Amino acid sequence: MSETLPRDAAAGTIRDPDFEDDVLVRVDNLVKHFPVKAGGLISRTVGQVQAVDGVSLQIGRGQTVGLVGETGCGKSTLARCIAGLIPVTSGKVTFEGQDITNLSRRAMRPYRREIQMIFQDPYGSLNPRRRVGAIIGDPFTIHRTATGAERKKAVQELMERVGLNPEHYNRFPAEFSGGQRQRIGVARALALRPKLIICDEPVSALDVSIQAQVLNLLADLQADFGLSYLFIAHDLSVVQHVSSAVVVMYLGRVAEQGQKDQVYTSPRHPYSAALLSAAPAADPEAAAARHRIILTGDVPSPINPPSGCRFHPRCPKAQELCSQQDPALENKAGDPPTHLTACHFPVQADEDLARVGRREPR
Amino acid sequence: MSVTELEFQAQQVETAPEQAILGRSQWQLTWRRLLHDKMAVASFIVILIIALLAILAPVVAGLLGHGPYQAFSGKGLSADGLPVAPGTNGFILGTDYIGRDLLVRILYGARISLFVGLTTTAMATVAGVLVGLVAGYYGGWVDTVLARFIDAVLAFPFIVLALALAAIYGSSLLIVIGVITFFAWAGISRIVRGQTLSLKEKEYIEAARSLGAGPWRIMIIDILPNLMGPVLVLATLYIPTAIVVEATLSFLGIGIPAPTASWGVILSEAQQFYQVSWWYVVFPAAALLITTLAFNLLGDGIRDAMDPRTERLFAGSKRRKRRARKTAAAEPGALPPLTVSELGE
């Protein structure tokens, strides 16, 4: 997917009023802070984990948006906010033009049918005490769309669609392999024919050969049902394979976003560049030729994030300005309009970050 | 076996109809393991016999011609006015201090014990599971209030409450059941709450929420089945406790009122006669011991069957010990090798 959309620099999002119909989900300046409590009987809040701190993005119809970033950067929290599983601190989630931020459980109910999730752990996401038929049939029962024989038929059709043997209707999750279990999770998410499926690292717990099968299944389902995916992963090659657009997150903020090729071939944010340079390459020649950008230090605590640009203590290009002023997510000179970067000193095309002398963290 | 035979067999396995493999539930597996536990099966049979005797108590009374309250001052008492020994004048287990048939009274006592044990455990389990689920699932201030209440109940001395209630309302079966239930639910609640706290963090709970399931559906459909194991074990172990507490309260005179045949009441009456009439103490005490032991062993068996990794108390221990001794004798100073069961079956 390579349609180029004019941007709205003020809001920091890729958006075009003419193309609003093509946008399924829009997230505006989403903030999710978790209070840190101390004290026993009477607890008081001593700090905030700034898990997601002002994220804006949008997911087009039939599009797959890849969300990448290190562990703890807020990817999963963002996903749960969009799915309405946890309340949002501030900001807005819009689904097909309807504001679905912080709806009550009852008000959220119709949107549950439209937004579904696939979880990371194929063992933890299926109740070990319940039969597979009951697990996949849950969406029908909860939304009262099918009962009895009708429900069983629908479940068996779903099982067949995701590549499971419908005869295994009465088995328990423990009797399936990891890949099969993930298919069960896919079938459950698919049951209500949602428009958006949020995939929270759906293949990271699987063997590489099984990963490919599940990814292909997801691609087939997208083609058949016109699904949109928000695809969260830390495996950059997986994201490159499935996504049309990519969002790179760092410590609760968007570092860079754009169409897949834009981010992958010419990353502008030093963090994206470092992330991409660290991804293992299957081709030994390419692996030998690449220059890895080694970041020092750990991801800072989201309870007390660095001032200015959140990446500055680890950034090879950081300057005085970076620690003082928070860079806006904006289109940089020479980039296509959909490519946005939050950096004061974006990486240039001919620049080799691996050779830039590291500065002392300030 | 020839190669072709092996191939043939392999083919058979491959082409076997899929329906043939039916998923075995956790309960079916537990049941199979329980049937292999001789101690548990024996305990279960003993409990069935006790229950049968309790149900048939009126029949036995009719056959012997001795009602539970019928005092035979003539043939039931010796010339000195003391209870008669077992086997005298048709009293199989002897008589009590006013010449009532001890066997019939013990059988009627079994009815009280089982009734109290089962009703209190049933009510305490329902209440305990409900409170524990709500406290654990909702968390926040709901949990704080309920958890503190549970702690308060567990810290309260039950004898004092029973004494106070008996002093105000007089002792009765209803008060006994009420007091035992009131103190039993809290223990179950605490276990259920702890389990719920850990279970609600599972991804399948989040999956259920993302499907739009409400809190009660999640608690009952998703969490409760995962709790049934520990709850069932706990309940089985609460039955004998309740039976003992009932006997204790009755013994102290604040439980079942006197003419009713309860094991505690019989033991209480027997206090003054144990030096001359041994049967008066031994038989009701034995009934109490056998019943509670059977329930406890069954509870242990269910726990072992639920969780095959736990070390078994009786099953197979002799064989294992013998094997360990043999290897230790063969290699002096060498540690006995770890057996499979010790590593976790």
Higher pLDDT: A285 or B201? It is B201
CA distance A281 to A264: 13
Residue range A29-80, pLDDT digits in tens:
999 998 887 766 666 777 888 889 889 998 999 899 999 988 888 888 999 9
Contact yes or no for B212 and A126 at CB 8 A = no
Nearest alpha-carbon partner for B269 in B136, B25, B116, B71: B71
CA distance A326 to A352: 24
ipTM of predicted assembly, 2 dp: 0.82
Residue B330 pLDDT exceeds 80: no
pLDDT, position B262? 87
Alpha carbons within 13 angstroms on the beta-carbon side of residue A58 total: 25
Chain B nearest CA to A80, separation (Å): 9
Of A112, A129, A175, the CB nearest to B210: A112
Contact yes or no for A172 and B18 at CB 8 A = no
Chain A nearest CA to B217, separation (Å): 9
Nearest alpha-carbon partner for B273 in B82, B70, B75: B82
Residue B202 pLDDT exceeds 70: yes
Burial of B279 per CB tally in 10 Å (0-12, 13-18, 19+): buried
Contact yes or no for A142 and B19 at CB 8 A = no
Chain A nearest CA to B39, separation (Å): 27
CA distance A64 to B311: 51
Chain A nearest CA to B303, separation (Å): 17
Ranking A92-101, A111-120, A153-162, B334-343 by mean pLDDT, the lowest is B334-343
Q: Give A57's DSSP letter.
A: E
Residue range A302-359, pLDDT digits in tens:
888 888 888 888 888 888 888 888 888 888 878 888 899 998 888 887 777 766 654 4
Q: A117 and chain B: CB distance < 8 Å anywhere?
A: yes
pLDDT, position A10? 39
Q: Which residues on adjacent β-strands are paired with residue A341? A: A256, A330
pLDDT, position B31? 82
Alpha carbons within 13 angstroms on the beta-carbon side of residue A316 total: 20
Higher pLDDT: A21 or A277? It is A277
Higher pLDDT: A342 or B67? It is A342
Burial of A69 per CB tally in 10 Å (0-12, 13-18, 19+): buried
User: In terms of DSSP bridges, do strands A90-95 and A98-99 run parallel, antiparallel, or are they unpaired?
Assistant: antiparallel
Residue of B nearest to A173 (CA): B23
Higher pLDDT: B92 or A248? It is A248
Contact yes or no for A83 and B22 at CB 8 A = no
Contact yes or no for B203 and A121 at CB 8 A = yes
The helix or strand, by DSSP H or E, that contains position A264, with its residue range, turns out to be: helix A260-265
pLDDT, position A196? 94
Mutate to test the interface with A, among B28, B148, B210, B224 (most CBs of A within 10 A): B210
Residue range A259-282, pLDDT digits in tens:
988 888 888 899 988 888 887 777
| Residue A134 DSSP SS3 | helix
The band of B145, judged by pLDDT with boundaries at 50, 70 and 90, is: very high
Of B21, B22, B211, the CB nearest to A142: B211
Q: Which residues on adjacent β-strands are paired with residue A33? A: A50
Of B22, B26, B206, the CB nearest to A170: B22
Q: B60 and chain A: CB distance < 8 Å anywhere?
A: no
Q: Give A359's DSSP letter.
A: P
Task: Count, in order, helices (H) and strands (E) of chain A.
Answer: 11, 14
Mean pLDDT of A170-175: 87
Residues of A in contact with B204 (CB under 8 A): 124-127
pLDDT, position A348? 82
Q: CATH assignment of B36-323, given 1.10.1040.10, 1.10.3720.10, 3.40.30.10, 3.40.390.30?
A: 1.10.3720.10
Residue range B212-222, pLDDT digits in tens:
888 999 999 99
What string of H, E and C letters represents the secondary structure of chain B? Answer: CCHHHHHHHHHHHHHCCHHHCCCCCHHHHHHHHHHCCHHHHHHHHHHHHHHHHHHCHHHHHHHHCCCCCCCCCCCCECCCCCECCCCECCECCCECCCCCEHHHHHHHHHHHHHHHHHHHHHHHHHHHHHHHHHHHHHCHHHHHHHHHHHHHHHHCCHHHHHHHHHHHHCCCHHHHHHHHHHHHHHHHHHHHHHHHHHHCCCHHHHHHHHCCCCHHHHHHHHHHHHHHHHHHHHHHHHHHHHHHHHHHHHHCCCCCCCCCCCHHHHHHHHCCCCCCCHHHHHHHHHHHHHHHHHHHHHHHHHHHHHCCCCCCCCCCHHHHHHHHHHHHHHCCCCCCCCCHHHHCC
CA distance B177 to B180: 5
pTM beyond 0.80: no
| A167, two tokens | 């005869």
Residue B4 pLDDT exceeds 60: no
Contact yes or no for B226 and A129 at CB 8 A = yes
Residue range A139-166, pLDDT digits in tens:
999 998 888 889 999 999 999 999 999 9
Give Cα B213 distance to the centre of its chain. Answer: 35
Mean pLDDT of B107-120: 91
Q: Give A223's DSSP letter.
A: H
Chain A nearest CA to B306, separation (Å): 13
Chain A nearest CA to B213, separation (Å): 6
